[in-house]
Amino acid sequence: MREFMQYVRNAFYGATGWNEDNSYKDLNVTARELIDFPLPRGIRLSLSSLATPHFATSYQLCNVGVVDGSISYLHSSVPLTAVPAQSDKIPLGALMRSYRGLHQLGTRGGAQWSWETEPQAGTTPQIPAVADMRPIPNKDKSSLLYGRLYLPQSLLEAMVIKRFSSALQVQMSAVSEQSLRNGGTMLSVVQYDKGKYGLEGLYSTDGGLLGLRGLYNFGGDASGTAANSQNGPGSQESAEKERIYGRFSVGGELYYGTLNKSGGMSLGARFATLPTHKGTPLTATLTINPLMGNINTTYAVLAKDFLAMATRMEFNVYSYESDWAVGLELWSNRRPAGFLLGADPSLHLESDEPEPPKKKDRSFRAKMEWRLDDPEPEPAKVEKPEGKTQEYLGVFKARLNSNLNLGLVWEGRVKSLIFSLGTGVDLHKLGEPFRSLGLEVQYSS
């Protein structure tokens, strides 16, 4: 489950039309989220609010042995008016769905972040709905400020996102804490997104780390737009585009620590089906770290609308170490703990079939006149809105890795509270299997 502030941040990206997928960092984010989802630990209560369209607050109280908490504030220069922030209205998919379809390239301003990403039965969730927001005039100069203070530890997180043009964005994040070297660390990222390719340069004050990341898209819609611009529709390439239902991306990253004279690099490639693809959406990635001899492959598939699965395999050609992990996400439209909440009147009304009309007795007048009643007019059939009733109410996530560590999480909405209940199980020690147990409750208004 994403935190409320992350949800608002994503909403900001959506409102300003920033494609956060077009970064090498998020090459295999789909499989990562399906497998490495965070397990709740202890009890965590968060109370959040999007008080004004520009301002959001969030308070959190945790109890993992010790009680601590955090206070966070967020300011966005872009009004987030159309963002549903109430916890009974937030689309669960935006908070919980791991499988992330690709956004359309180069459609900035046209297709905004879809608030209707919540999957609905019978519809493909990847199709971005037409934005119901009015166009924002100054979104190219928008900015976001975010700060969070963890209280007993006095740890301060701060983040500034500043958009300079439609393609250029700067992100700066900083952490200040006493135990860290130099009292804290700061990371600046310059992001340049040109649709077909995306570039990132970063600098971290910790060790003077310099980094460069790049991603290049081709095939599918990426080449399609180029073809369209060059020689119009109806050519041979459009036929080829019909055959390939996905987009290829290749990229790489390079790091160099100026202070400790160390570095690292990796190369990666991805194939992902386009949202327009009618078949099973899938994403496959391959990353290679040639310095360390590490090969990492992931495969994620949205098998059904309510079921997503992912696998990851790692192998090191130098040390022959290997690792695998599988993850699964199962959406449910069942009411969670429905037997407890059976008295819910709205649910009762919704689920109840309309009563079959009772067979009426002959009326008194008809009896008097020795005739039958006139046939009554047929009742008009009520069309049931399919989408509304089959709303998903919860999701079950599971993962298993090569150490036989099993992670189980149920996330869902009960009334206007969003719950996340999870546990970690070590299958090696079946005597005391539960490694961790946690419950997260989130409420926002």
Quote the CA–CA distance of 352 and 346 in Å, as a whole number: 10
- From 52-60, 263-271, 328-336, 356-364, span contacting other proteins (CB under 8 A): 263-271
Quote the CA–CA distance of 174 and 178 in Å, as a whole number: 13
- DSSP letter for each residue of 167-216: SEEEEEEEEE-TTSGGGEEEEEEEEEE-SSEEEEEEEETTTTEEEEEEEE
264 near other proteins, rule: CB under 8 A: yes
25 near other proteins, rule: CB under 8 A: yes
- From 99-107, 127-135, 183-191, 374-382, span contacting other proteins (CB under 8 A): 183-191
314 near other proteins, rule: CB under 8 A: yes
Q: What is the amino acid identity at position 149?
A: L
Q: Looking at residue 141, what DSSP letter applies?
A: G
319 near other proteins, rule: CB under 8 A: yes
CB of 442 to other proteins, least distance (A): 19
Tokens of residue 426, six digits: 């070590």
Q: Which of 66, 135, 318, 430 is close enough to bind other proteins by CB under 8 A?
A: 318
292 near other proteins, rule: CB under 8 A: yes
- From 93-101, 135-143, 284-292, 349-357, span contacting other proteins (CB under 8 A): 284-292
Q: Which of residues 15 and 155 has its CB atom nearest to other proteins in the complex?
A: 155
Q: Residue for token digits 């002959």?
A: 362
Q: Which of 266, 423, 442, 444 is close enough to bind other proteins by CB under 8 A?
A: 266
Tell me the backbone φ, ψ of residue 357, rounded to 5 degrees: -60, 135
Q: Which of residues 118 and 193 has its CB atom nearest to other proteins in the complex?
A: 193
289 near other proteins, rule: CB under 8 A: yes
Length of the chain: 445
Quote the CA–CA distance of 182 and 130 in Å, as a whole number: 48
- Largest interatomic CA distance in the chain: 106
Quote the CA–CA distance of 38 and 148 in Å, as a whole number: 19
Q: Looking at residue 437, what DSSP letter applies?
A: E
Q: Which of residues 220 and 251 has its CB atom nearest to other proteins in the complex?
A: 251
Residue numbers at the binding site for other proteins (CB under 8 A): 24-25, 27-28, 155, 157, 159, 173-175, 177, 180, 185-187, 189, 202, 204, 206-207, 209, 211, 213, 253-255, 257, 260-266, 268, 287-289, 291-294, 296, 314, 316, 318-319, 321
